[in-house]
Amino acid sequence: MSGTPAGAATGNGPNVVYEGRDLEATAGLDNYNAWIVETFRPYLRGHAIEIGSGIGIFAGLLRPHVDRLDVVEPSPNLTPVLEARFADDASATVYSATLEAHVAAMDDACRDAVILVNVLEHIEDDRAALAELFRITRPGGTCCCSYRRFSSCSANSTASSGISGAIAEANSEPKSEMRDSRSDWPAISTSLEWRPGGS
């Protein structure tokens, strides 16, 4: 099922198209994919949204754990892949839009779970994005983020100062029982350390 786009699909800049070839390789990482889903599973329920769905690997794994799933992908060339994957699922709706454009058009406190898997580190203004994600999360809901930590990177504030600080800043008025798996911050987050050169 495909929804009316909430905004132009432009990636993190004008006319960005993500080929997604690396996503096909991650489809076979069964242990990694299961670890992410098992980490998030206790917090998945109701009407959820996954942003940056790529070719739908995680959306497909998450879907059985929620009543409804919004599948949001900014790269327009991946939308047909997602539409085909969820064509027979009336409880999954595919949107071709950026995180910023899609979430800006959403009501406050309208989703039970907000899910990002290896997406937040690609968002230019991640702190503003997190604030918007917390805005759309219902009281008692959860924002689940898995991300890669870059040791030498200044692409965005999450990469350089850490997601815990960004989460704390974005969710200055916690309205739900969300926890960072590594501390007491109000979100579920997992991270992989990545160092240039494979070190």
pLDDT tens, residue by residue, 64-117: 999 999 999 999 999 999 999 999 999 999 999 999 999 999 999 999 999 999
How many whole angstroms separate alpha carbon 147 and alpha carbon 118? 4
pTM: 0.74
Residue 47 one-letter amino acid = H
User: Which residues, in sequence order, are bridge partners of residue 142?
Assistant: 113
Q: What are the percentages of helix, strand and coil residues in the chain, rounded to 5?
A: 35, 25, 40
The backbone region for 25, taken as left when phi is positive above 0, alpha when psi lies in -120 to 50, beta otherwise, is: alpha
Grade residue 21 by pLDDT with cuts at 50, 70 and 90. Answer: low
DSSP SS3 for 34: helix
The 10s digit of each residue's pLDDT in 4-20 is 444 333 334 445 676 66
Distance of CA 64 to the CA centre of its chain: 17
Tens digits of per-residue pLDDT, 152-170?
Answer: 333 333 433 455 555 555 5
Question: Alpha carbon of 116 to those of 36, 130, 146: distances in Å?
Answer: 11, 11, 6
pLDDT at 49: 98
Mean pLDDT of 128-140: 92
pLDDT confidence of residue 167: 57
CB 113 within 8 A of CB 66: yes
187, pLDDT greater than 60: no
Mean pLDDT of the chain: 75
Q: Greater confidence, 183 or 19?
A: 19
Average pLDDT over every residue of 144-154: 60
Residues in contact with 159: Cβ distance below 8 Å, sequence separation at least 6, in sequence order: 121, 149, 150, 153
Domains of the chain: 21-198 (3.40.50.150)
Q: How confident is the model at residue 175 (pLDDT cuts 50, 70, 90)?
A: very low
* Residue 124 confidence (pLDDT): 87
